[in-house]
């Protein structure tokens, strides 16, 4: 028999407690690079509905994971993923939590509905999350959907894959307003009561 000559993916290891040194040195407490990454996928001058997304990541005991690092990836307001970032919109953000409280937040514009897999129609607007921290051996993937998109959420091919209907709510951010700006609250429970649905993508 011929051998299959594929390589194996490099195994993941935890990002560890000092992930900020490499990925967000400002948060680790020092200044080294001329240009640093921004937590916000869109600038204040980008076209679209400007929103804040915030939340807390908690562990199986209910305690906040204060050293979490999150990256997000999202479509533009027209539903397309950008293949070339502009000054106004990259679609990507890297977010560090507050070390004292674990609270995190970022500012962006609301994504539009992106094309689903062939024949599935549009997906409901969502933001893809990747979560790493000490104790997480391989990054956790999930999606955040929007409470005020009930009709699109009901038709979303990914939300509909979740067999236990009440668990779909773990992916839907609650909308409030603060100083006239929409704020979406997206708490992520890594384990235990109300555990967030995570994906093998």
Partner 1 sequence: MAPLDELFPRDREWQPPALTPDYKTSVARSPSYPLLSLQNSVSETTGPVFGHDMLGPLDNDLLHNYATPGESAIGQRIIVHGRVLDENSRPVPGTLVEFWQANAGGRYRHKKDTYLAPIDPNFGGCGRAITDDEGRYHFRTVKPAPYPWRNWVNNWRPAHIHFSIFGHAFAQRLITQMYFEGDPLIWTCPIVKAIPDDRAIGQLIAPLDMNATVPLDTMAYKFDIVLRGTRSTLFENRLEGN
Of 54-93, binders to partner 1 (CB under 8 A) are: 59-61, 63, 65, 67, 71, 73, 75, 81, 83-85, 90-92
Stretch that binds partner 1, among 43-51, 147-155, 172-180, 184-192 (CB under 8 A): 184-192
The yes or no reply on residue 139 touching partner 1 (CB under 8 A) is: yes
Stretch that binds partner 1, among 44-52, 102-110, 122-130, 172-180 (CB under 8 A): 122-130
As measured in angstroms, the least distance from the Cβ of 178 to partner 1 is 28
Task: Give every CB contact of residue 182 below 8 A, 6+ residues apart in sequence.
Answer: 49, 50, 51, 52, 110, 175, 176
Judged by DSSP in three states, 21 sits in helix
Q: Please say whether the beta carbons of 108 and 181 come within 8 A.
A: no
The yes or no reply on residue 100 touching partner 1 (CB under 8 A) is: no
DSSP letter string over 48-96? S-EEEEEEEEE-TTS-B-TT-EEEEEE--TTSPPPSS--SSB-SEEEEE
Could you tell me which residues are beta bridge partners of residue 96?
A: 69
Stretch that binds partner 1, among 48-56, 100-108, 128-136, 174-182 (CB under 8 A): 128-136
As measured in angstroms, the least distance from the Cβ of 170 to partner 1 is 10
Binding mask 2-21 for partner 1 (x = CB under 8 A): ---xxxxxxxxxxxxxxxxx
């Amino acid at each position: 028999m011929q051998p299959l000559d594929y390589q194996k993916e490099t195994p993941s290891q935890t990002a560890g407690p000092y992930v900020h040194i490499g990925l967000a040195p400002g948060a680790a407490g020092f200044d080294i690079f001329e240009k640093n990454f921004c937590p916000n996928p869109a600038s204040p001058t980008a076209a679209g509905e400007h929103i804040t997304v915030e939340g807390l990541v908690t562990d199986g005991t209910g305690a906040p994971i204060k050293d979490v690092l999150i990256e997000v990836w999202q479509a533009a307001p027209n539903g397309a993923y950008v293949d070339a970032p502009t000054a106004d919109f990259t679609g990507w953000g890297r977010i560090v939590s507050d070390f004292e409280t674990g609270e995190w937040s970022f500012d962006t514009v609301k994504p539009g509905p992106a094309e689903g897999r062939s024949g599935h129609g549009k997906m409901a607007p969502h933001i893809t999350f990747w979560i790493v921290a000490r104790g997480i051996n391989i990054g956790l993937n999930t999606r955040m959907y929007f409470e005020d998109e009930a009709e699109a959420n009901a038709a979303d091919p990914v939300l509909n894959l979740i067999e236990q209907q009440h668990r779909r709510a773990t992916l839907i951010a609650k909308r409030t307003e603060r100083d006239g700006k929409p704020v979406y609250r997206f708490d992520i429970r890594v384990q235990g009561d109300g555990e967030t649905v995570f994906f093998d993508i």
